[in-house]
Amino acid sequence: MSVQEIQEPHLPKDGGTIGKSPVTHWHWWLIVAVNIFILVVGQNAGVLLGRFYYDQGGNSTWMATLVQTAAFPILFIPLFILSYKESSTTTKTSMSTQPAVTTLTLIYVSLGVLLAGDNMMYSNGLLYLSASTYSLICASQLAFNAVFAFFINSQKFTALILNSVIILTLSSALIGANSDSSEPAGVSRGKYILGFFCTLGASAVYSLLLSLMQLTFQKVLKRETFSVVLEMQIYTSFVATCACIVGLFASGEWRSLKGEMDGFGKGRLSYVMTLVWTAVAWQVTSVGVVGLIFVVSSLFSNVISTVALALGPVAAVIFFHDKMDGVKVVAMLMAFWGFASYLYQQYLDDSKLKAAQNSVNEVPNESTLERQIV
């Protein structure tokens, strides 16, 4: 990421907006840190709860897909608060600069359908893979995102960023090649391979989705408020939820839900709470993902998501007693190495930005001093 990319679109100003009048530098880092935290916590909770659902007798992939977006109504609360605050502190965007309703509808419907298909592939992948294996394979999404970010978002690459992408990709390839990696009981080799390719395909679609969202923010929405992040999440989740409901009824899986609830290993209440908290966890994750796209970039968002996935095996070992063999340990260490490489590039860019700003501030003072001497 270049210095210009960090400087221009990503520094917050009062009222939650991003752009022309930056506040203190720490404010920007605080926003980034909050989004990173909710992404990491939400993503790992969502993966673990999804695996728990399958382990305790759940087998509806449409239900597992539905809960990944169904909790979007809770986002109306912060959206209302932010919209009220922004309307009182900023001037309204003129109607001439707002995108047409038909354009927005087409974008949200397209992204929502893509999101539903992506979640469906993830659900099938998690059905046939252990939580730790699933998490490490998902790290391949960074490599896909690097390609999409380069062609769609004109992402600039440095040696450190390329190193980060390559290392993180190799870490997922390493675990993917290890087909003996503690797959759930009763899963055949064929189903393991199906789960592997479903997860790999979902990672590619997810990366495309992130890049398209960033492009939408930059080229279509052009609204410099954080409420636009929530709007993006709400409308795409609404479309994805509708698509999943249609799929649930069209497939006939809805008929088995009552029996699934009655036969759930931990009881009916646990079944309901598992679905509810899975939905909340994924919605929180999505806000963090989209927030980082808006504040930084789709590639940075994917880097953080990949690091969160690298933490997944540790959580899976603690909660599900997954086998942590040498291959997974090496893959996890490679993932942290790749993240450290990317983070160091961010540090270098930040240092260059500060140096450039100091240089700009010093030049006028020198000119003024010369005029006074003359």
For 176-210, the pLDDT digits (tens) are 565 454 566 667 788 888 988 998 899 889 889 98
More confident residue, 114 or 170: 114
Alpha helices (H) along the chain: 3-7, 25-55, 61-66, 76-89, 101-128, 131-137, 141-152, 159-177, 189-216, 227-251, 257-262, 268-295, 298-320, 326-373
Instruction: Tell whether 301 is covered by a domain.
Output: yes
> Tell me: the pLDDT tens digits for 201-226?
998 898 899 889 889 988 888 775 77
Note whether residue 162 is domain-resident.
Answer: yes
How confident is the model at residue 106, as a pLDDT? 95
Q: What's the mean pLDDT when you consider all of the chain? A: 78
Decide if pLDDT at 229 tops 70.
Answer: yes
Does 368 fall in a domain?
no
User: Structural domain tally of the chain?
Assistant: 1
Residue 369 is assigned to a structural domain of this protein: no
Is residue 373 a part of any domain in this protein?
no
pLDDT for the residue 14: 33
**Does residue 59 fall inside a structural domain?**
yes
Over pLDDT 90: what percentage of the chain?
26
Query: pLDDT band at residue 238, thresholds of 50, 70 and 90?
Result: very high
Give me the amino acid identity at 287.
V
Q: Residue 367: inside a domain, yes or no?
A: no
Q: What is the pLDDT of residues 78-130, one digit of tens each?
A: 888 877 766 655 554 444 567 888 999 999 999 999 999 999 999 998 888 87
Q: Give the pLDDT confidence score for residue 22 in this predicted structure.
A: 42
Q: Would residue 267 count as lying in a domain?
A: yes
**Of 201-210, 247-256, 269-278, 298-307, which gets the smallest average pLDDT?**
298-307
Mean pLDDT, residues 56-70 taken together:
92
| pLDDT score recorded for residue 173 | 67
DSSP class of residue 22 equals: -
**Boundaries of domain holding 114:** 3-88+98-358
Q: Which of 232, 230, 240, 229 is nearest to 121 (CA)?
A: 240
Ranked by mean pLDDT, the top range of 23-32, 120-129, 132-141, 222-231 is 120-129
What number of other Cβ atoms are within 10 A of residue 273's Cβ?
13
Helix (H) or strand (E) holding 18: strand 17-18
